[in-house]
Chains A and B, each alone.
Chain A
Amino acid sequence: EAGVAQSPRYKIIEKRQSVAFWCNPISGHATLYWYQQILGQGPKLLIQFQNNGVVDDSQLPKDRFSAERLKGVDSTLKIQPAKLEDSAVYLCASTREHPTGELFFGEGSRLTVL
C-alpha cells in the first residue's frame, strides 16, 4: 500500500512570496489533514477534510492560507503572502475512520521563509 505522498520536500522563499504544497493521501482514506509543525513543537492542525468537504479549518490563518481538496482525493495547501513565522514543516496525513484508524503521515514539506 503506497503511503501519503507530499511535494515538494523542501522550499525556500522570501517573505511576501507565495508557495503551494501538494498531498496525495493513501487510497481509500476519506479524511485528510494538513498540520503545521514548528521546530520544537507538536503538529498543529490547520485544516481537516472529509472527502472534498471541510470539517475543521478553525486554526487556518485564512487571510494568507488556503487549501482545497478537489474530487476528494489529493489536496493543495497555499500560502500567500508568506511571513517569516510560516517557516515550518507542513505535514499531510490521512486516515480511514474513527476510532480505530490511526493517522498516516507523509514525509512533510519543509518551508523556510527568508
Chain B
Amino acid sequence: KAGVTQTPRYLIKTRGQQVTLSCSPISGHRSVSWYQQTPGQGLQFLFEYFSETQRNKGNFPGRFSGRQFSNSRSEMNVSTLELGDSALYLCASSLGLQPGTNSYEQYFGPGTRLTVT
C-alpha cells in the first residue's frame, strides 16, 4: 500500500507571498493532520481534517488554513509568509476513527521543506 505523499518536497518563497502545500493520505485513510516542525519549537499541531471537516485546530494564526477534498486529499495554505514560517511541514494520515484504538495511528509523509527569504 502506498504511503503518504506530499508535494512539493522543497519550496523557496519570499516574505509576503502565499504558498499551498498538498498531501495525499494512505488509501482508505480519511483523517489528515498537519504539523509544523522547527528546530526551536519541535513538532506542533496545525489542524486535522476528517471527511472534509476540520475537527481540531492548533494555536496558529489565521494565515494558516487548510481544507480536505472528498477523496481525502488535503491542502494547507499559508498567506503573507513570514521568515518564521520557514519549517518542515508534515502531514500525517490515519483512519481517524477513535483515540485509544488501533484506528488512530498516524503515519507521516516525507514533508515539505519551506524556506522563506
The judgment on whether A and B are partners is no
Q: Which residues of B contact A (CB under 8 A)?
A: none
Q: Which residues of A contact B (CB under 8 A)?
A: none
